[in-house]
Amino acid sequence: MPVNKLFRPARPHRPLGPGDFLVLLFVTVLLYAGVRLAFRAPEFVQGPEISLSPTALPWYAFLSTLRMLAAYTLSLAFSLFYGYKAAHSRYAERVLLPLLDVLQSIPILSFLPVAVLGLTAFLPERVGVELASIFLIFTSQAWNMTFAWYQSLITLPGELREASDIFRFNSYLRFRVLELPFAAIQLIWNSMMSWAGGWFFLMAAEMFTVGARDFRLPGLGSYLQEAAHRGNTKALAWGLVTLIILIIALDQFVWRPLLAWAERFKLEMVESEVQASSWFYELLKGSRIWGFLWHRIFGALDQRISVWAKRANAQVRSSGKRRPRWFLYILVAIFMGGIALGAAWAGKFLTSLPGRAWLLIAEGAGATTLRVVMALAISAIWTVPVGLLVGLNPRAASWIQPVVQIAASIPATALFPILVTSLVRLPFGLNLAAVILMLAGSQWYILFNVIAGARAIPQDLKYTALLMKLSRWQRWRILYLPALFPYLITGAITASGGAWNASIVAECVAFGGASMYTTGLGALIAQATEKGDYALLFAATLTMIVLVVAVNRFLWRRLYRLAEERYRLE
- Answer with the residue of higher pLDDT: 200 or 15: 200
Q: How confident is the model at residue 567 (pLDDT cuts 50, 70, 90)?
A: confident
DSSP character string of 534-559: HHHHHHHHHHHHHHHHHHIIIIIHHH
Residue 410: CB atoms within 10 A of its CB come to 19
Summarize pLDDT for 89-130 with one digit per residue, the tens.
877 777 787 777 777 767 666 566 666 666 666 677 677 778
For every residue of 317-332, which 3-state class applies, written as one string? Answer: HHCCCCCCCHHHHHHH
Mean pLDDT on 54-77: 91
**Which run of H or E residues covers position 475?**
helix 472-475
Q: What fold does the segment set 55-265+354-566 form as a domain?
A: MetI-like fold (1.10.3720)
Beta carbons of 567 and 483 less than 8 angstroms apart: yes
Beta carbons of 129 and 215 less than 8 angstroms apart: yes
**Which run of H or E residues covers position 213?**
strand 213-214
For residue 8, what pLDDT is reported?
36
Angle at 559 between CA 554 and CA 564, to 5 degrees: 130
CA torsion 299-303-305-309 (nearest 10°) is: 150
For residue 9, what pLDDT is reported?
34
For residue 274, what pLDDT is reported?
59
The span from the CA of 205 to the CA of 137, in Å, is 7
For residue 69, what pLDDT is reported?
92
DSSP character string of 494-518: HHHHHHHHHHHHHSEEEETTEEEE-
Summarize pLDDT for 380-410 with one digit per residue, the tens.
899 888 888 888 877 777 777 777 777 777 7
Is the pLDDT at 6 greater than 50, yes or no? Answer: no
Show me where the domains of the chain are located: 55-265+354-566, 278-313
The span from the CA of 83 to the CA of 549, in Å, is 18
What is the value of pTM for the model shown? 0.72
Beta carbons of 78 and 67 less than 8 angstroms apart: no
Is the pLDDT at 238 greater than 70, yes or no? Answer: yes
Three-state secondary structure call for residue 209? strand
- Answer with the residue of higher pLDDT: 115 or 282: 282
Q: What residues contact 488, with CB distance under 8 A and at least 6 apart?
A: 380, 384, 446, 449, 450, 453
The span from the CA of 375 to the CA of 497, in Å, is 12
Contacts 24+ apart (CB under 8 A), 294-297: none
Sign of the alpha-carbon torsion through 28, 29, 34, 35: positive
The span from the CA of 273 to the CA of 280, in Å, is 21
Summarize pLDDT for 131-171 with one digit per residue, the tens.
888 888 888 888 888 988 988 888 888 788 888 888 888 78
Please choose, from the candidates 385, 450, 445, 412, the residue with its C-alpha nearest in 3D space to the C-alpha of residue 192.
445
Is the pLDDT at 19 greater than 60, yes or no? Answer: no
